[in-house]
Structure 1
Amino acid sequence: MKDFVLPLVIAVIGLAATGLGAVVGARATKFGAEKSAEAVRRQVQDQGAIEHGHWLRQQRFTTYESFLEAWDECLRITQASAADEAQDSTGLEDLRLAADRMAGRARRIAILGPPEVTHAAESLAETMQEDVKVAVRFIEVTRTAIAAVDEHPIPTEAVSEATDEYRHRSQQIVDLVNDHRSQGRDLRELDGHPMLRAALESMEQYRQRSGEAREALSANLERLSAAASEAFSMADVLTRNRKARELSREQFTSAAREALSKTPTPELRVDRG
């Protein structure tokens, strides 16, 4: 009996060992395959992240460049308008469109980032658009003031004519008085003389025309003074914006260089298993 049982036990143990080895081997093979699959997945994921980083860097470069092109266009338009004495709405409309392009490209920068570049771009775009609004207001104020002055012109021609007439009549009176005196005649004889009446009428006309001119001049000066006061305020805004843009331009350039100096990628995970 023992001779039969012992070989049987050994056979069972051997079979069990073989089965256990197969199970262990299968599990090891599966574990190795899973590890390989995970490594491949991570490699593909990391490679995709790297490629996305390169794509993002290129998109940023293109968008930053187009933003600066719109900014330079705004500068060219403002410089050309400053050199052109005949101001019209055409140049202002061109500037408005260029400023709108700046704002649109700043919005795209806000999508692509990073925040430092976005903030500087938005600051540049906002001050330029504010300049356009100020320029529109300046033209409105100027046109309104000119129209008001044109509606209330100073009667310079009428004043000039009244002045000449008054001087002429005054000289006639002087000559008349001198003539009477040279003849030894009484000056009371001149009471009611037609020349005296004409001189008094010319004096009254001169006073009336001069008064009208003073009123028109005073009203026009008041209108022009109000327009000039608002223009000075607008000039302060433009000066402040210009200084702000100089700083924002430096910030944008510096932040853009920093963003483009490296490829934006997420941190790669390290497998420690």
Structure 2
Amino acid sequence: MVGAPEMMAVVDELLIALVAAVFGLAGTVVGAVVAARAAKAGADKNAETARRQVEDQATAEHAHWLRQQRLTAYEGFLEAWDECLRLTRASADPHESDPPGVEPLRAAAGHMAERARRIALLGPPAVTQAAEELAETMQQDVDATAEFLREAEAGTLVLDGRPGDIDGVHAATKAFTNKADQLRELLAGAQESGESVDGHPLLAEYLEAGNRYQTVSQETLGDLQANLDQLASLADQATAVVDLLRRNQAAREASREQFTAEVRAALGTPPLSGNG
């Protein structure tokens, strides 16, 4: 029969074994938890790295796409601008046998405006502002030139409608001079013969020729004066248009330099996210 001391020794050994087993299990559990947390942290880090790589790649691809879109828009705008310059020079060339007229220039200015609106969508704001200023001054030139040509055409029709009867004035002057010469001869003969010239038909013819000369001369002078006024008005309008064109040309030169500088900066700087 086992005594109490032996029994206590057995119990102590069991307790020691149980405690060791419990601590061993706890160590295993803690180790597993630590390992799991470490694995999760590593997975999160890898996921974050992958996410950043995807975002960086997407940002780079978007930046490349935006740069190409901007380059295409800028080139298209400058092509429309160069076409406007070509048409403007052709319109102003006195040696041009078939000037293009206003409508092709108006269409080219419209293309400039369209491309400026495209640039406004792509940015950046500095390039947009320079493009809009170029398009605006060109449109002002086109509108002013078209208005002047319309006024000039209307003025030409008015001038053609009152050419002035120069031939009529010459004919009336000649007829009146002839009648005056005939009347002098009649009066000289009547003075020598002592005869009266009262009621002589030549007197009425002379008066009629004089009235005709006066009427035709006044009408022609009125037409010529009106034509001179019309021409003076057209000359004033032409001067105003030329002044506007000169001012706009200087403004466009500055705007083009600004546009070119901003384009270089925009294409040389990586675009920010959005429309930077």
Specify the TM-score bucket, using the shorter chain as the normaliser: 0.7 to 0.9
> Contact between 1:92 and 1:136, CA under 8 Å: does it hold in 2?
yes
Match of residue 221 from structure 1: 228
1:68-107 deviation line (CA, Å, top 9, x unaligned): 0000000101111112578989531111111111111111
Match of residue 102 from structure 2: 92
Aligned partner of 2:13 among 3, 9, 14: 3
Name whichever of 222-231 and 254-263 sits farther off: 222-231
Question: 3-state DSSP class of the match of 2:236?
Answer: helix
Equivalent-residue separation in structure 1 for 2:220 and 2:50 (angstroms)? 93
Is 1:80–2:90 an aligned residue pair? Answer: yes
Name whichever of 128-137 and 216-225 sits farther off: 216-225
One-letter amino acid matched to 2:231: L
Match of residue 133 from structure 1: 143
Question: 3-state DSSP class of the match of 1:76?
Answer: helix
Structure 2 residue runs of 5 or longer lacking an equivalent are 1-10
Equivalent-residue separation in structure 2 for 1:95 and 1:158 (angstroms)? 44
Match of residue 34 from structure 2: 24
- How has the CA–CA distance of structure 1 residues 70 and 191 changed in structure 2, closer, same or farther, with 3 Å as cutoff? same
Is 1:257–2:264 an aligned residue pair? Answer: yes
Match of residue 218 from structure 2: 211
Greater relative contact order (Cα < 8 A, sep 6+): 1
One-letter amino acid matched to 2:266: A
TM-score normalised according to structure 1 size? 0.87
Structure 1 residue runs of 5 or longer lacking an equivalent are 267-273
Equivalent residues in 2 for 1:62-81 (5 A)?
62-81=72-91
Equivalent residues in 2 for 1:37-76 (5 A)?
37-76=47-86
> Contact between 1:81 and 1:87, CA under 8 Å: does it hold in 2?
no
CA shift, 1:180, in A, is 4.0
Question: 3-state DSSP class of the match of 2:192?
Answer: coil
Question: 3-state DSSP class of the match of 2:218?
Answer: helix
Aligned residues between the structures: 263
TM-score normalised according to structure 2 size? 0.86
CA shift, 1:20, in A, is 0.5
Equivalent-residue separation in structure 1 for 2:216 and 2:71 (angstroms)? 70
Higher radius of gyration, 1 or 2: 2
Is 1:241–2:261 an aligned residue pair? Answer: no
The percentage of aligned residue pairs carrying the same residue is 48
